[in-house]
Structure 1
């Protein structure tokens, strides 16, 4: 069905693997389009509770954008490239109703790091290298890197990473909060799926509302969104089941 990505489902968890090993899984327009389609379909599938995103092999999650595709662009084309990519993929991931966990299995550079930043949770392998090298090309990140990175690590560290274009090892990325956990390459996907399995057991309605509220946490609407969602959940089936299970001393069946 897809040329550049692989998809599979395990126990209500969808796994999307970017599969362009010959180019270290670099993002081109077709890959972005296929990812957008896959995320959209899994988001609409009620059987899927969590989505895991990774890259093929152990060398690269996504080594960046496919520079050959846009090397001759002028301003209008470049703006459209960034706007379209953000709308159909990066913003889409961030605002999905379901959690997306990035399993960063190697290089996550440029658009690759921006893709990981759009995910709700990031796990990384010990051999991962993360960075935004766009200024070495005379550019800046165009898929949300200048906006999402400061929210995770603060403006000072974000500026340092963007201005210097240096690559961070996984251990340092964990120290600054860029990734949640670091594992050996062979343990990365099993540990990611372990977390996904834990999330699957919880209320999908509550998690969807939590994603929405957390995404608004740095805006004036954040507290109101939390209060509104908190109230709305009281009339939803998941809350009724969760409270009943608690009172009956059993596990909830969401």
Structure 2
């Protein structure tokens, strides 16, 4: 019956009241112990932090800077390109190549933003290298300001020629039969120099080379320059060079 079951429960609760009191007391003691332990642990960590601070690494004064294993290199000067039938300087001035028999070459004439082509005259003449004709095209170094007068262009051509001859033949080069001529290219005034450079090398059937310099006023304080280095035994390339110089286009 329902009433009888409810009554029995009340009797069991009444009979266990002492046990419940004892259980509550035990729980209070456990909680108090845990609180005390927590406080104790917290105190230990606090004290540890206080007496043993974390040491931070510190640099010693006067430490020398470690040098890199490779020193930074200077920025290489800009270079032009040989594109198809044109030598294209960095400033986009152009000069036609000398012909299909000529190939791309490095430039040692001291021009800025230049490119070059070469033609082999004596292959393996000394068992080590070839003797070649070279034509380069670029501009005079921008740090050299060109004066737009006949005298200024002559001075610029002289400087470009000196740099080229030293770069190609060294400071001891001997020159002769030097000529000067005023030229006009693409509507711009210019100056041409031709000179002979003495050549003497074992097993080389050459006694001189003709070095040709053409400087063209760009009208902005700079000059377009072409350098021709032609072996004495191949003079037919000299008028070809002059024709190609007359076809130079100044990038405006």
Larger Rg: 2
Bigger fraction of residues in helix: 1
Q: Tell me the TM-score range normalised by the shorter chain.
A: under 0.3
The structure richer in strand per residue is 2
TM, length-normalised to structure 2: 0.23
